[in-house]
Structure 1
Amino acid sequence: MRKVSVITVNFNQPSVTEALLDSVISDSYFRRMEVIVTDNGSKNSPINLWNAKYPNITFIHSEQNLGFAGGNNLAIQAAKGEYLFLVNNDTEFTPGLVEQLVSTLDANPGVGIISPKIRFFHQPDMIQYAGFTPMNYSTCRNKCIGEFEKDSGQYDHTTGPTGYIHGAAMMVRREALDKAGLMSENFFLYYEEIDWCERIKRAGFGVWVDPAALIYHKESVSVGKTSPLKEYFMNRNRILFIRRNAPFFSKILFSLHFSLLVVPRNILTYLARKRPVLTIYLFKAIWWNLTHSKNSQDTGYPLNKIT
C-alpha cells in the first residue's frame, strides 16, 4: 500500500486542529500515513502539548506566518509519502477517505492531483464542492459544481477530470509535485492551489475530483467572510492569477472586466453592507499589481495584523 503524507497547517486554532487530528487517527489508513502539522507562527505555539498528546505525529514550528502555501510547503519538504494529502485544519475525515483517493490515483497514473467531495460540516447533507468548471480567463470566474445542493449521491459516479481541485483537501502525486514544483508562496492566501493546478496541467498531469471520497469542511473558521484580509487577498490574487496564467488577449479582456464591472460593483456592495473601509483594501490590491512583478514575495499586507 502507498505511503501517504497527511499535511495540515495550524494558525492560532489548536482546538480546531486537534479535531482534525482525532479524525485522522481514527482513519483505517492511519498506519500507512505520516501526519505532519506546521504551526504557522501561532502566538502561543501548542507544539509542546501536542508532542505529548500525539506522539505519532510530526510537528514543525515556523516562527512567522508563511501563509497557506508557505506553511504547506514547509511540511511538504519534510514529507516522505508517495502521495501527499494536504487538508485544511478545519476539515474532518470520514471513513475510507484516504483509501478511496489512493485507489483512484493508483488506477490512474496520469492524474497528478485530486480532491474528494466536500460537504459543509455544520450542514452535513449539503455539498460545498464536487468539482469546478474550467476558468474563464476573461473574467477569472468559474463555477463550483454541486455547491449548496443537498447530497443525494448525484455526483458519486462522476469521478474524473475537473477544472480545479479544492484547496481544503487535495492529494498530489509525488511525481507531479517534483515536476510542477511547490505552491507559489507569493499568493500567501487564496488562489495558490488554482495556480498550482495550472502548473500541474502544464507538467502533463490530470486534475481530478473523486466524489466517492468525502471530507467535511468548517468553512470560514480561518478568515472572516468580509474581513479586510480576505477582501485584499481575494482581489489581489485574482488579478495575480490572471497575470501568471492567462493568454495575452484574455488579460486585456479581464482588465476591462475588472475595471468597469468588478470595481464599481464591489464598492457598491461595501457601501450597502456599511463596510466602506473595504474599498481601501480593494484599491490596495489593485495598486500592488500595478507596482509589483508577478513573482514578487512582498505581500503588500501588514502580516503583524493577521491574528
Structure 2
Amino acid sequence: MTRSNNDVCAIILNWNGADTTIDCIRALDAHCRVPVVVIDNDSKDDSVSRLKHFLSDSTGPDLHVIDERAAGSYDTPHERVLIVNEGNHGYAGGNNVGIDYAVRAGYRYIWLLNNDVTVEAGALEALRDTLEQSPKCGFSASVLVYSDRPQVVQCVGGGTLFPWLGKTKLMGKNLDRAQLATAGLPEPDYLMGASLMVRREVIEEVGMMDHRYFMYSEEVDWERRAAAVGWHGRVALNSFARHGDSGSTKGRSHMFHFYRNRAAIMYNKRFHSTACTFVSAIALGAITVLQNRSSAKNIKFGIKGITEGLAFKWR
C-alpha cells in the first residue's frame, strides 16, 4: 500500500520567479504530490497573478490564497496555499511565514525547497525515512546534483564549516553520482536548505530560523541551536534533487558577497570566540579581494558585509 504524503508540507519561497516556482511544483506533482505552501516574498513582477492562475488550474477548489497578516492566525490545511508577504523578508523571514502556518495546520514534517530545485522520484520518501530512523533526527537533506549534469554531485546534503576563515566547503562537490555509495564521506557539519526536511518537534522546541540573517547561514544557525538541545541531522543518500547548473557559481552579484560575508561574521559572533570572529573577518576580507580582483563593486560590498556583521549585536 502506498503511504499517504499528507503528513508532509512542502514550502517554496518565490521572489520574481514564477516560472521557476511552477517548474518546482510540477516536479513535486509528478513524483510525490504533497500539500504545497508557496510564499511570495513581495515580488515586483506579475508572480502573484501567475501563481494564482497556475495553482488554480492545477489544484481545483482546494486552493487558499491569503495575505501575510491573515496567515499568522490561519490553521486549516489545504492542498495548495499561496501566502502573499507584505515585504521581502529574505530567505529565513519569508520561509518562516510558511513554516509558522504549516506547524499550526498540523503537518508532521516540513519540507523546505528552493524554487530552483527539481526533485527526482523517491526524494520525499528517502528524506522522511531518514528522519524516522532515529527519534532525535530533526533534519534530513537531499543530495543535490547539477540540473544540466544530473550524474554529477553538486553537494552531498551540506558541507564543512571553516569558522576561522568565515567560509564553508560543499561536501562531495563534483563527485560522480555512481560513487556515492562507496565514497565513505562523513556527515557534514551542516545541511543545506535547498531541499531540507524538518520535524515539527524541532520547530516547537527550538523555534524557526533567525530572520536577522536575511540570507545565508540561517539554516546553519538553526541546526546549531537544535544540536544544543539534542537534535541532529542526516543526509538522505537516496534523495536526489537537481539544483542550479555547473556554471552557477560564476557572475555572482555584489549583493551575494554582501549578504554572504555579513552572515558568516554574524554566525561567528553568535557561536564562536571574539578571536575567531576577528580573524575570520580579516581572512574573509582577503579572500573577497583575491576572488574579485576584476570587480571593485563586489569587493566594496563584500567588505561592507563584513563591517556590518562586526557591528551587528545579538540581543
Quickly name the TM-score band, shorter chain normalised.
Answer: 0.7 to 0.9
User: Which residue in the other structure is 1:305 paired with?
Assistant: none
Partner Cα distance (2:82, 2:144) in 1 = 26
Deviation at 1:166, TM superposition (A): 1.0
Task: Percent identity, please.
Answer: 24
Give the counterpart of 2:19 among 7, 10, 15.
15
Q: 1:197 to 1:158 in 2, by over 3 A?
A: farther
- Listed as ranges, the matches of 1:30-179 within 5 Å are 30=33, 33-43=34-44, 44=46, 45=48, 46-55=50-59, 56-79=79-102, 80-132=106-158, 134-155=160-181, 161-179=187-205
**Paired AA for residue 82 in structure 2:** F
User: Which residue in the other structure is 1:266 paired with?
Assistant: 288
Deviations along 1:92-138, whole A, 9 cap, x unmatched? 11111111211221221110101011101111111011144553332
Give structure 2 stretches of 5+ with no counterpart.
60-78
**Paired AA for residue 8 in structure 1:** I
User: Which residue in the other structure is 1:187 paired with?
Assistant: 213
Deviation at 1:148, TM superposition (A): 1.2
Partner Cα distance (1:84, 1:166) in 2 = 14
Comparing 97-106 with 48-57, which one deviates more in the overlay?
A: 48-57
Partner Cα distance (2:185, 2:200) in 1 = 21
1:263 aligned counterpart, secondary structure: helix
**Paired AA for residue 254 in structure 2:** P
Partner Cα distance (2:151, 2:235) in 1 = 19
Deviation at 1:190, TM superposition (A): 0.9
RMSD: 2.4
1:143 aligned counterpart, secondary structure: strand
1:5 aligned counterpart, secondary structure: strand
Deviation at 1:142, TM superposition (A): 4.0
User: Is 1:158–1:211's contact at 8 Å kept on the other side of the alignment?
Assistant: no
User: Is 2:39–2:82's contact at 8 Å kept on the other side of the alignment?
Assistant: yes
User: Which residue in the other structure is 1:218 paired with?
Assistant: 244
Give structure 1 stretches of 5+ with no counterpart.
296-307
TM superposition score normalised by structure 1: 0.85
Partner Cα distance (1:10, 1:222) in 2 = 19
Q: 1:197 to 1:57 in 2, by over 3 A?
A: same
Q: 1:129 to 1:264 in 2, by over 3 A?
A: closer
Deviations along 1:73-108, whole A, 9 cap, x unmatched? 111111131011101000011111111211221221
User: Which residue in the other structure is 2:62 paired with?
Assistant: none
Deviation at 1:286, TM superposition (A): 2.5
Deviation at 1:279, TM superposition (A): 2.3
**Paired AA for residue 300 in structure 2:** I
User: Which residue in the other structure is 2:223 paired with?
Assistant: 197
Q: 1:227 to 1:168 in 2, by over 3 A?
A: same
Q: 1:211 to 1:188 in 2, by over 3 A?
A: same
**Paired AA for residue 61 in structure 1:** V
User: Is 2:144–2:157's contact at 8 Å kept on the other side of the alignment?
Assistant: no
User: Is 1:159–1:211's contact at 8 Å kept on the other side of the alignment?
Assistant: no
User: Which residue in the other structure is 1:299 paired with?
Assistant: none
Give the counterpart of 2:298 among 278, 281, 296.
278
Partner Cα distance (1:177, 1:83) in 2 = 10
Q: Does 1:239 align with 2:240?
A: no
Give the counterpart of 1:256 among 254, 266, 279.
279
User: Is 1:90–1:219's contact at 8 Å kept on the other side of the alignment?
Assistant: no
Comparing 286-295 with 16-25, which one deviates more in the overlay?
A: 286-295
Q: 1:142 to 1:283 in 2, by over 3 A?
A: closer
User: Is 2:159–2:169's contact at 8 Å kept on the other side of the alignment?
Assistant: yes
